[in-house]
Amino acid sequence: MRWDVDSAHVPHRDWSRFVTAGGLKWHVQEAGPADAPVLLLIHGTGATTHSFAGLAPLLAERFRVIIPDLPGHGFTQKLNAPDPDAVAKAMAALVTELGVRPAIILGHSVGAAIAFMMVARGLVAPQAVVSLGGALLPFAGVGKVYPGLAKALFVNPFMPAFFSFTTRFQSMTDLLARWTGSRSTREQVAHYERLFRNSSHTGGALALMAHWDLDTIERSIAHVKCPVLLLHGERDQTVPPSTSHTVERRLASHGVTVVHRALPGLGHLAHEESPGVHAQAVIEFALGLGVLSAP
C-alpha cells in the first residue's frame, strides 16, 4: 500500500511515522506519555494498526503505546519468507531500532503467536504478555484451512490480485461475521473492505499465512516464563476459545502466572467490538504486576 494514496482513512494518522529496521521499512504508530511503561501492540493476519483504533487511545492514557504494521501488511515492507522465527526477529529488530524495552507485549491472534515467539527465543524480556484470541495451537476451527489455502494462493503470483478482486462481489459484513463471529461496526467493516481490495496487502497476508507454522508456535509455550493474560471471545469462529483454556493449563503447569478471561458475546475481533473491556483488563493486570502504579 502507498502512503500518498491509501493513508487518508488510517485511524490516528497523526501518530504515524516510518522507521527502517532489520532491512525493512516499517509503518509505526506511537502514542502516550514518553515516560510511561512501553506497551507493544501486534495485530493479527490481514489487519493493520487500524485494528487497535478503539483500544489504543484507552491504553495510551497509562502506557507509551507502539503499534507497527506487520511485514507485508498495510504500509510496512514485505519480508521474503515471513515464517514465525523471521517475523519475531524482524519485530525484535524494530524494537531495538526504536530504543525501547516493552514492559508488556500484547498480540491479537497471530500477533499473540509473534509475542510468544519473541519471548521464547529470548529476543525481548517483557514483564508480561497479553494474548487476545491468540493463535497459539493447531486448531480445528475456520482458521485450520487458512495455511493450506494460503500456500495454494501464494504460489500463484496473480492470486493476491484475484483474491482482492473477488471480495468486491461479496458482503464484507457477512464475510467478517462468518470468519470471526464478531459484530463489526460499519466503520470497522469499511477498513477491512479497503484492505482486502488492495492486492499488495492481501499478498502480504497470504504470504504470512503460507509461511506460518503453528507447531513451532505451540513449542514456544514451554519457554514463556513471564506472566500471561489470556482474553478470548466466546463467539470466536477463527481460533476456538478452547485454545486459550489449553494454553492456560500448559502455562500453569510450568509455574507461569496466568490469568484467563472468557468474554461472552464477543468474537475473534473482540478487542474491536469492546475496547473498553479489554483496556480495563490490561490495566488491571498491569497494576497487579506492578508494571503500573495506582493513580
Type of residue found at 60 = A
Tens of pLDDT along 168-217?
545 777 777 887 899 988 888 888 888 888 888 888 888 888 888 888 99
Tell me which of 23-27, 137-141, 143-147 is least confident.
143-147
Nearest to 201 by CA among 239, 163, 234: 163
Angle, nearest 10°, between helix axes 159-166 and 199-210? 120
Domain 3-141+214-289 has CATH 3.40.50.1820: yes
CA dist 164 → 28, 152, 192, 200 (Å): 24, 15, 11, 9
Residue 110: predicted pLDDT:
93
Distance CA(108)–CA(66), nearest Å, equals 14
For residue 274 the three cell numbers come to 469492546
**CA 169, CA 167: separation in Å to the nearest integer?**
5
Grid cell for residue 195: 484492505
